Structure 1
């Protein structure tokens, strides 16, 4: 199990949203600590959460020092089994200490959605601006009170961050963490292909997968990280093409017809399908189109791929053709 998976699993467990199978998995870790099962099974869900939280407090008091952990007498009723269980949880906790720290000082987050067919601009509490692409969501604090400014992105957004050297700005996109002091850049999460893409417009940006640094980017540099295969590609790009979506422009660079259709479908909030499945794999490049009319854009990309399209009575679009040569 990866660190990210462990984080989410324990988070769900403590919040009461884990499944029966996940509950069994966590409690199995505890059961393996000698004969702890008899005591653990007698606790209700509230007592279990309180017990785990108190263990975390003990760990918090000692994790930053090299001293040996001495257990309090109040734990004596659990005996040696509890000591073993604490060691299990302590080693587990060490892997996701940042998550536990943030839970100790919870911050109320606001979520903004940008549905398909719409784009939104947000001004954060520090004056930083975020442009959200269609089909995206952003979670953020109304006020940045801590030592860092953190937001959570699903989808794609362009960030223009106010410089503050004392408080880094951090964007969480799944396990991928993008850290800046003050700069402008684009972050895109492609869940269909398991790709997180970070591209820098100005300044300098650090990109990491959990605690593992993937790279430091400067203007017109891009990192594409495959979260499924754990593969990294670093490129020099034209930032104008990457952020063309802000000006209602579409840049189709070495893209499949299927992915191009998905991009248009999200932007215009219209269902687009293919009568011939082979058309989906056709690839084309070098087309940059600006406009708000879907039919005009489809005429251009269909011409590239020897295809035609028709609009159904319900507004959906079907693309047909013989496929690539």
Structure 2
């Protein structure tokens, strides 16, 4: 469980969605915090600090054997305090006792609060939504999203169910977070697509431009700081395939890479020529790398000596590579986020 799910449980209790079995755990967890939390006199700006203390206590208690709860009479003050925080406390108790993470549907259902708006697309066409910060989202058929009417001053957060494309307005002071199933996609300003499969067990995130960080929702801050468990960072024309059952990330290239260079609005010129006349393959590879922002390597440096003549202006990247490889008796394959060309080369 992470802090995000921690807050969702608080909302769940506030909406009276806890079961009777969950409510009986209040005694044990109220004893854990004791009189350390004076809710009756707490100001709004003190909640963040109090939440941090509660989270630390609940997390620490998970490492200790659970002691039987002492029975005591619930005074009105104690009951008011328990009612205000028991959603958070029950969440910790249930997760650490039973180790049952929330499902994607539960995460989405509990997301947001009364300040959030839900947009759904029940049509056969895509639906375009523009947020107050200028961010544009394309909801594909069957998708839904929850978002606030007004973002706060430190971060922008939305909750997604289904497939959508985001064109996020840049704002270095307010990073943008998309919570989708069991993934968090974190950006400052970029364009990307989130596409879960029908079963929800696999999610693909493809980046069109900019830079995107992706990690699992249950990854804590401490785990994220560990380089071995920090998810993945994607750049243009890269995608990640996340498999929930394995908690694994597979990075590769998108199915149809797009040019990353900027065109002149008047002439359409990109500054990179894709027309060659008896030029070495090394020049062709260098031009394609810059044009698409991908890394292309060869397994035999003799390939660099081969000449190429032709115009690579109409095809997609993979079609371009097929033409080049055919001309020199080579082949290519995608290796993660790189492209490898194999062949005997030329003397």
What does 1:81-96 align with in structure 2 at a 5 Å threshold? Answer: none
Taking the aligned partners of 2:82 and 2:169, their CA distance within structure 1 comes to 43
The reply to whether residue 187 of structure 1 matches residue 194 of structure 2 is yes
For 1:138, the equivalent position in structure 2 comes to 145
Which digits, 9 at most, give the CA deviation of each residue in 1:74-104, with x for residues without a partner?
Answer: xxxxxxxxxxx9x999x99xxxxxxxxxxxx
Which residue does the alignment assign to 1:128?
135
CA distance in 1: counterparts of 2:209 and 2:160, whole angstroms = 20
Q: 2:250 aligns with which of 212, 216, 233?
A: 233
Partner of 1:160: 167
Deviations 1:5-43 (A, max 9, x none): 655444422432122233345555557556543235988
Give the corresponding residue for 1:264: none
CA distance in 1, matches of 2:183, 2:189: 19
After TM superposition, the score normalised by the length of structure 1 is: 0.51
Identify if the C-alpha distance between structure 1 residues 156 and 25 changes in structure 2 by more than 3 Å, giving closer, same or farther.
farther
- Radius of gyration: which is bigger? 2
Whether 2:134 is the aligned partner of 1:117: answer: no
Match of 1:218 in 2: 235
Deviation at 1:146? Answer: 2.4
The superposition leaves residues 255-312 of structure 1 with CA deviations (integer Å, 9 ceiling, x where unpaired) of xxxxxxxxxxxxxxxxxxxxxxxxxxxxxxxxxxxxxxxxxxxxxxxxxxxxxxxxxx
For residues 21 and 190 of structure 1, the distance between their equivalents in structure 2, rounded to whole angstroms, comes to 34
- Measured after TM superposition, the shift of residue 232 of structure 1 is 1.8
Quote the residue 2:46 is aligned against.
Answer: none
Question: Matched residue of 1:38: which SS?
Answer: coil
**Structure 2: distance between partners of 1:239 and 1:37:** 63
Q: 1:232 to 1:47 in 2, by over 3 A?
A: same
- Report the counterpart of residue 16 of structure 1 in structure 2: 16
C-alpha contact (below 8 Å) 2:11/2:113 kept by paired residues: no
> Which SS does the other structure have where 2:13 is aligned?
helix
How far off is 1:240 after superposition? 6.1
Shift of 1:177: 0.8
Give the match for residue 262 of structure 1. none
Alpha-carbon separation, structure 2, partners of 1:146 and 1:221: 30
- When residues 40 and 228 of structure 1 are mapped into structure 2, their CA distance, relative to the original with a 3 A threshold, is farther
Q: CA deviation at 1:189?
A: 2.6
1:190 shift after superposition: 2.9
Range 206-215 or range 35-44, more displaced = 35-44
Match of 1:197 in 2: 204
RMSD of aligned Cα (Å): 3.9
Larger deviation, residues 137-146 vs 189-198: 189-198
- SS in structure 2 at match of 1:39: coil
Which of the numbers 65, 69, 72 marks the counterpart of 1:38? Answer: 72
Residues 169 and 44 of structure 1: is their aligned pair in 2 closer, same or farther, counting only changes over 3 Å? same
Q: Which runs of 5+ in 2 are unaligned?
A: 32-65, 98-111, 225-229, 259-347
In structure 2, the CA distance between the partners of 1:229 and 1:50, relative to structure 1 (3 Å rule), is same
Q: Flag the 1:8–1:163 CA change in 2: closer, same or farther, 3 A.
A: closer
Structure 2 partner of 1:265: none
Q: 1:239–1:26: structure 2 CA closer, same or farther, 3 Å change rule? A: farther
Listed as ranges, the matches of 1:234-313 within 5 Å are 234-239=251-256
